[in-house]
Homo-oligomer: A and B are copies of this chain.
Amino acid sequence: MTSREYKKVIWTALLILLAFIIGVLIGYFSRTIVFQPDSRTKLLDRLNRDGDNSITQKLFDTIDTGQIDSNLRILTGKPRLAGTENNRESGDFVHRQFLQYGLQSEIIEYNVTLSYPDKTADNYVSVIEEDGTETFRTVAIVEGDEVQPFNAFSPSGNVMGDLVFVNYARESDFQKLKNLNINVSGTIVIAKYGKGFRGNKVKNAYEAGAIGIILYSDPGDYAPIGTNATYPDTVFLPNDGAQRGNIVLNKGDQSTPGYPANEYSYRLREHELNARLPKIPCLPISYSNAYSLLSLMTGDQVPDEWKGDLNITYRIGPGLTNKRKINLRVSNKLAHRRIFNVIGKIKGELEPDRYVMVGNHRDAWVYGSIDPISGTVVMMETARAFGQLLKDGWRPRRSVLFCSWDAEEFGLVGSFEWVEDNSKWLTSQAVAYINVDSAVSGNDTIHLKTVPLLQKVFEDAANKVPDPYGKYNSAYEAWNNHPRFRVYKMGGGSDHVPFLAGLGVPSMYPKYSYLKDIWGSTSTPLYHSRYENYHAFKMIDPELKFAKTMTSIISESIRNLADSRIIPFDLDRYAEYISNGVEELLNHYGQVVGPKMEEWIHRSVNAFHESAARLKSIIGAIHNDNDDPLYARQVNDKLLWLERSFLIDEGLPGNSLYKHLLHSPDTANYYGGVSFPGLGGITQCMDIQNTTECHVEIHKHVAKIIQRIFDAAKTLDR
């Protein structure tokens, strides 16, 4: 072979080698290029996906004040008293809307015991002269389907007696009367609405010995800028307006406590039922009617701080001038009626057995434009926004329920019955419940009630939503810089109670509240009157910008809760909440519980703090680099179970249906929220008697608190 031939062979061999190598490389990398992530890798990506912020913007973009206005107009078109045909129709409307939005929807009925004024009989207060003639009788304006002013579940009665003015009929008011040597026993009392739940007023009056109670809205509380500037010019109460409302302290259907009012359910017999209901007749009247009664009163002038804004001299009584008597006639009857909850549903994509819920009632005393419809339209628009995303092919990780409750005004009846009917799967599957009752009660700033676990969810959502006043960067910032900024404990008062106090489902209850510059109370002056209508609402939120803002906040809160890989609960806030609570507890009762119990309280709180910190660091690590979907679910289960750890089966002293040691309504003041509501009754025991028996009750209850704080720590650790 010549050297040239030799070279040729070498070159050829090199070329072949090169071709081979290029071939190997192409073969190797073509394989890489054609290699697809297999279906299992895709599955893992899907299971581990986290919430997607672009969804937030899509939700916000969908929200339409035109839709909100249309729903508002339709729902406030007629009175919607629970148990009436009108409110069945409103349920059908919500149901049809849910379906049209692309949700699943179901109407769920219960047959419950409600209370109505008996149309065949009279309901009024009259003034009776010494000779027996009637010289004055209260009147109430009622049009069309409107129900006359009454207090649901007041017994019927026809009582005659002296009148005593008892301010707001709080325990402290009756204590004051006692100190003034005024004997309320056998009298009819008249009390101002406000500063607490009306049912507590009736109970206090009964316990003081009164035989009847009249409730009225004093202009000092309900028309503070003068009785000439009222509805329809402002949202303040005109002189013929009266606040309706129930006066029961036990919530849910009165005939089926603890169980749903289904066809097969056991219903209390008459004597069992009556034992649960208020004992003395009660009637609400307008302040023009009240004027006629109060101006006739005798006795000493009331203490300065008791005075209202009627143009009279407020007197305590007892009695009226010239030996006149008061005759109170109440004629109510109990009735079994069908009520209709509407439940819209979005089935979750990855964890359909975990539920985020939002709810509000639909029934109203009359038109209920603020209470509840301002919240119902927020919920409906939220549902529509989510429905739109469903149509675009997106689904949240977890399921979402939109709940329109009936008969809330009669004591949370619709929500209680549904929760009692679904308590078992809700206990294991409900992640959170957001209550949007009266979501736009005002236009000044946000009023937030929340459990500590959910506070951050609300804040984060409000931080993404523009300030409706356009002054700050976000609704959160506006609220945070507002003089009324505060976060409230949950307490009672609306449909979150069966979820939170009954089952331990973390809840929040946000609304826009107060009237800018003119009104500093959380409820509106027209509340539960016939003037709380579409027009009134539009005076508060003419452009629906607060409704829109609240819809955005609720939508984003739901998205975050339903779509985040790890449930966005705030463990730090819960730990802080418990620390503050026990500090309060020890300030009050440190002496009673003694140093040994005190030490155990601290140990339990420390255990909770440590467990919370451990779980938090586990969660931090998951977000970074752990892609085991079972592990994430395990962490979520611990979070889900945390709130349940504080339940006691036997319930709080005085109310066996309130099982949450921290977040039940205060048994001493139903609207209020306190750190340890089960101590409410005991506090009274201590304040009044301070006996060994009270001390024992405190020991018993504090031992349960310690146990459950330890239990909560274990739930996070296990």
Question: Is the CB of A703 closer than 8 A to any CB of chain B?
Answer: yes
| A393-429 interface code vs B (CB 8 A; 1 in, 0 out) | 0000000000000000000000000000111110111
Query: Closest residue of chain B to A259, judged by CB?
Result: B707
Q: Is the CB of A596 within 8 A of B23?
A: no
Q: List 23 A-B contacts (CB under 8 A).
A: A12-B16, A19-B20, A20-B22, A21-B23, A24-B26, A27-B27, A28-B28, A31-B31, A40-B40, A40-B627, A43-B627, A263-B600, A264-B601, A264-B706, A264-B707, A265-B703, A353-B638, A353-B718, A422-B714, A428-B637, A649-B659, A650-B650, A650-B656
Cβ-based interface call for A131 (8 A): no
**Interface check A17, CB cutoff 8 A:** yes
Tell me whether A696 and B269 are in contact in the complex, defined as CB-CB below 8 angstroms, given that A20-B19, A629-B629, A641-B425 are known contacts.
yes
Tell me which residues across on chain B come within 8 A of A29, comparing CB atoms. 27
* Interface check A133, CB cutoff 8 A: no
Q: 1/0 per position for A699-715, CB-CB distance to B under 8 A?
A: 11001101110011011
Residues in B whose Cβ lies below 8 Å from that of A21 = 23
Q: Which residues of the partner chain B approach A711 to less than 8 Å between Cβ atoms? A: 422-425
Which residues of B have CB within 8 Å of A628? 43, 47
Q: Mark A227-271, 1 if CB is under 8 A from B, else 0.
A: 000000000000000000000000000000011101111100100
A707 & B265 in contact (Cβ 8 Å cutoff):
yes
Count of chain A residues near B, Cβ 8 A = 79
* 3 closest residue pairs by CB, A with B: A23-B23, A27-B27, A24-B27
- What 0/1 pattern do residues 139 to 180 of A give for CB contact below 8 A with B? 000000000000000000000000000000000000000000
Which residues of chain B have C-beta atoms less than 8 A from A28's C-beta? 27-28, 30-31
User: Which residues of chain B come closer than 8 Å to A121, judged between CB atoms?
Assistant: none
A259: contacting residue among B17, B703, B712, CB under 8 A: B703
Nearest CB in chain B to that of A41: its residue: B40
Could you tell me if B47 and A630 are in contact, using CB atoms closer than 8 angstroms? yes
Question: Which residue in chain B gives the minimum CB-CB distance to A429?
Answer: B718
Q: Which of B15, B38, B650 contacts A12 (CB 8 A)?
A: B15
CA distance in complex: A718, B430 (Å) = 11
Asked if A352 is at the interface (CB within 8 A of a chain B CB), the reply is yes
Instruction: Determine the distance from Cα of A715 to Cα of B714 in the docked complex, in whole angstroms.
Output: 25
A425 to B659, CA, bound (A): 17
> Which chain B residues border A41 with CB–CB below 8 Å?
38, 40-41
Minimum Cβ distance to chain B for residue A571 (Å): 16
A10 to chain B, nearest CB (A): 12
Q: Nearest chain-B residue to A700 (Cβ)? A: B266
Which B residue sits closest to A425, measured CB to CB? Answer: B718
* Smallest Cβ-Cβ distance to A642: which chain B residue: B424
Bound Cα distance A351, B31 (Å) = 37
The reply on A350 being an interface residue by CB < 8 A is yes
Interface centre among A21, A262, A421, A629 (most CB of B within 10 A): A629
CB of A391 within 8 A of chain B? Answer: no
Q: Is the CB of A634 within 8 A of B27?
A: no
Q: Is there a chain B Cβ closer than 8 Å to A44's Cβ? A: yes
Instruction: Report if A195 contacts B (CB, 8 A).
Output: no
Interface residues of A in 672-718 (CB under 8 A from B): 696, 699-700, 703-704, 706-708, 711-712, 714-715, 718
**A351 with B596: CB separation less than 8 A:** no
A350 to B262, CA, bound (A): 42
How far is B27's CA from A22's CA once the two chains are assembled, in angstroms?
A: 9
* CA gap between A116 and B318 in the complex, in Å: 65
By beta carbon, the residue of chain B nearest A27 is: B27
